[in-house]
Structure 1
Amino acid sequence: MKHYRTPLARARGLGSAREGLHDWWRQRVTAVALVPLGLWFAFSVALLPSASHAELVAWINVPWNTLLLLSFILIVFYHTLLGLQVIIEDYVHRDWLKLIAILGIKLLVSFLALAAVYAILRIVFA
C-alpha cells in the first residue's frame, strides 16, 4: 500500500527535539575542566614514582592536593557517566534495555565515585 503522508509528516518526530543540548554542554564543560586537572594529576603522579606509603599519604593530606584530587575524581566519573549514557542512548534501540542499561551505568559509576571519594577522605581524616 502506498503511503500518502508528505515527507514533512514522515520526518516529524525523527529529528532533534533540542533535549540533548544540555548534556552536550555538560560533557564539553567537564572535558575542558579535565584538561588542567588531568595535567596536574599526571605531573603530580610523575613526581612521586618512588614515594613510600607515608610520603603518598602526606601528599594527599596537603589541602590543595586533596581538593584537586577530589575534583579530578568527581569530574572524571561524571564525564564518564555522560559519555556512557550517550553511547547507550545512541546504540541501544530497545527502550526497556536502554532504561536498564542507563540505570545500571548510573549506579555503577556513582558507586565507584563514592568509593574513590571515601578512600581519599579516609586517608585525609585518619
Structure 2
Amino acid sequence: MASNSSKSSLRSPLAHARGLGSAKHGTEHWWGQRLTAIALVPLTVWFVFGVIGHLGADHAAFVAWMKSPFSAVMMILTAGVVFHHAHSGLQVVIEDYISAEWQKLAVLIAVKFVSFALAAACVLAVVKIFIGA
C-alpha cells in the first residue's frame, strides 16, 4: 500500500483528482506522421514527374504507363501513404479542437471510414488498369 501512495504523490493534486496521466501515445503518433511525410517525398516526386511526363499524351499512353508493375506499385503506395498521412493529421486536429467526446468519436470514425474508402477506391482503380479490366 505504501508503494501506491508514493506513486500517487508524484502527481499534482489536480491531476490526481481528474485521474489524468500520460497517454503514452503522442510520441508514437508524432513519429508515424514524420515517417509518412518522409515516405511522401520520393512518392510525390515520382508522381509529379510521371504526370509531367505524360502531359499531352493520350489516354492509351497513360494506361500503358500504369500497366507497368513498377508504376502500379508506386501508385498504390502513393495512395496508401497519402490517405494514411491525411487521416493521421486530421485525427490530431479533431482531437485538439472537438471537445465533446461523442462528437469527437463520431468524426474520428467518419474520417477513418472515408480515408479507408478513398484509399480502397484508388487501389481498385490502379488494379483495374493493371489487369486490364
TM-score by length of 2: 0.84
Query: CA-atom RMSD, angstroms?
Result: 1.5
Offset, 1:14: 5.3
Partner of 1:100: 106
* AA at the equivalent of 2:127: L
Offset, 1:95: 0.4
Matched, 1:8 2:35: no
Percent of counterpart pairs with the same letter? 42
For residues 44-59 of structure 1, what are the structure 2 equivalents within 5 Å? Answer: 44-59=50-65
Offset, 1:17: 2.5
Paired with 1:45 and 1:97, the residues of 2 have a C-alpha distance of 39
Offset, 1:25: 1.1
Structure 2 stretches of 5 or more lacking a match?
Answer: 1-10
The runs of at least 4 consecutive aligned structure 1 residues that moved more than 3 Å come to: 11-16
Partner secondary structure for residue 57 of structure 2: coil
* AA at the equivalent of 1:26: G
Paired with 2:131 and 2:124, the residues of 1 have a C-alpha distance of 10
Partner of 2:7: none
Offset, 1:70: 0.8
For residues 1-126 of structure 1, what are the structure 2 equivalents within 5 Å? Answer: 8-12=12-16, 16-126=22-132
Paired with 1:8 and 1:63, the residues of 2 have a C-alpha distance of 57
Say how many residue pairs are matched.
120
Partner secondary structure for residue 65 of structure 2: helix
Q: Deviations over 1:94-118 (max 9, x none)?
A: 0000000000000111111101110
Paired with 2:45 and 2:21, the residues of 1 have a C-alpha distance of 38
